[in-house]
Structure 1
Amino acid sequence: MIREIQEDLSKVESSSKLLIFLSNRGFQALLFYRVSHFLFKKKIPLIPLFLTRIIQIVYSIDIDYKAQIEGGCCIVHGVGLVIGSGVVIGKNSKLYHGVTLGVSNSENNKDGFPYVGENVLIGAGAKVLGKVKIGDNSKIGANSVVLKDVPKNCIAFGIPAQYKESKNKRTLEVL
């Protein structure tokens, strides 16, 4: 848990670590999630639920304590962010406000939760729904709705999201 917190802290852009602890909503939400998830894995009842509800009420960020989030995650702004219980998020991913990672409740898709690879950026308001996989180093555009897998090194955008492969990794950095 400590390693993941240090990795999360290293991804927040600020000159002061103390300022991050005191004022960064996204980091604070992840910190509460990390403690909640740790307690959940130790089979301690009710406290994980209580801790996640505090962040939900205070910041309008809903991260289920059963989700699996690797270290180096960065939540930018965060208000309206929802991460469901079965979601898996890889290392060094960046999530903006209004993002939803959850089940689709669609008859056309096999229901389940998204898997988000490493070094993925998910833009503001994007929805990733159902049992889909977002490949490593991919970017999801703002307000996109992702209902099918996105391969690694791709940019996905639109409703429903279409993806474009990038042959040049620098293109992904620019967007």
Structure 2
Amino acid sequence: MDKKRSNFIYSFLFNPSYRLLLNYRISKKLYDSKFIIFKLVAFYLKNQLYLKRSCQISLNATLEEGVFFPHPINIVIGDNTIVGKNTTIWQGVTLGSHGHNAQKKSYPIIGENVKIFAGAKIIGNIKIGDGALIGANAVVLKDVPAFHTAVGVPARIFKNK
């Protein structure tokens, strides 16, 4: 068996991050189709994602290529969230809306090569710049410039060295 095929089989069977993204991408393709049967299958797959991993990733969210989940448990990604290329998201991360009923819901935009550590919450219409780091359990309520670090509750922003 060639190396490429064996890597695919290994990833499919044993890599939970790969399986999570594969399930999400298949669900999104089916959800975007015009056929109601495909949409129902997409919702079934999304439900399986929730039951197996406790992950709620909206089918309206955009995950670019190279997104990686080292420990895909309890991840919530809201409707119009955009996650850039090569972003790493650890367990327990929430990317969601602010929840104010009177205001229009707005979701974060995550840049490329961002690392979001365990338990971080990024809430509202926030832009996270390329190469930024979001610390564990940080609650980010304002924009984080490129190549900066956000830590704490509420998050304080520091320039990376």
* Distance (Å, rounded) in 2 between the aligned partners of 1:35 and 1:145: 31
Give 2:24's match in structure 1, choosing from 23, 26, 33.
Answer: 33
* 1:160 to 2:154 alignment: yes
Show the counterpart of 2:133: 139
Tell me how far 1:20 sits from its aligned partner.
Answer: 2.0
Using structure 1 for the length normalisation, give the TM-score: 0.81
Query: Could you tell me how far 1:110 is from its partner in structure 2?
Result: 6.3
Which residue of structure 2 aligns with residue 91 of structure 1? 85
Q: Assess, with a 3 A threshold, how the Cα gap between structure 1 residues 107 and 147 changes in structure 2: closer, same or farther.
A: farther
Partner of 2:3 in structure 1? none
Cα contact 1:134–1:152 (8 A) shared by 2: yes
- Which consecutive residues of structure 1, in runs of 5 or more, have no partner in the other structure? 1-14
How many Å separate the matches in 2 of 1:106 and 1:141? 25
Inter-partner Cα distance in structure 2 for 1:43 and 1:140: 38
Match of 1:114 in 2: 108
State the number of aligned residues.
Answer: 153
Counterpart of 1:43 (choices 18, 34, 50) is 34
Distance 2:122 2:64 in 1: 18
Whether contact under 8 Å (1:67, 1:88) holds in the other structure is yes
Deviation at 1:23, TM superposition (A): 1.9
Deviation at 1:40, TM superposition (A): 2.1
Secondary structure of 2:149 counterpart: strand
1:61 aligned to 2:62?
Answer: no
Q: CA-to-partner distance for each residue in 1:101-132, whole Å, 9 max, x for gaps?
A: 11111479864111001000000000001111
User: What's the Cα RMSD here?
Assistant: 2.0
Q: Where does residue 104 of structure 1 map in the other structure?
A: 98
- Which residue identity does 1:24 align to in structure 2? N
Q: Quick check: 1:25–1:59 contact (8 Å CA) kept in 2?
A: no
Asked whether the equivalents of residues 65 and 85 of structure 1 are also in contact (C-alpha less than 8 Å), the reply is yes
Rg larger for: 2
> What is the rounded CA distance, in whole Å, between the counterparts of 2:32 and 2:110 in structure 1?
21
Distance 1:159 1:71 in 2: 30
What is the aligned-residue identity percentage? 40
Q: Are 2:1 and 1:24 equivalent residues in the alignment?
A: no
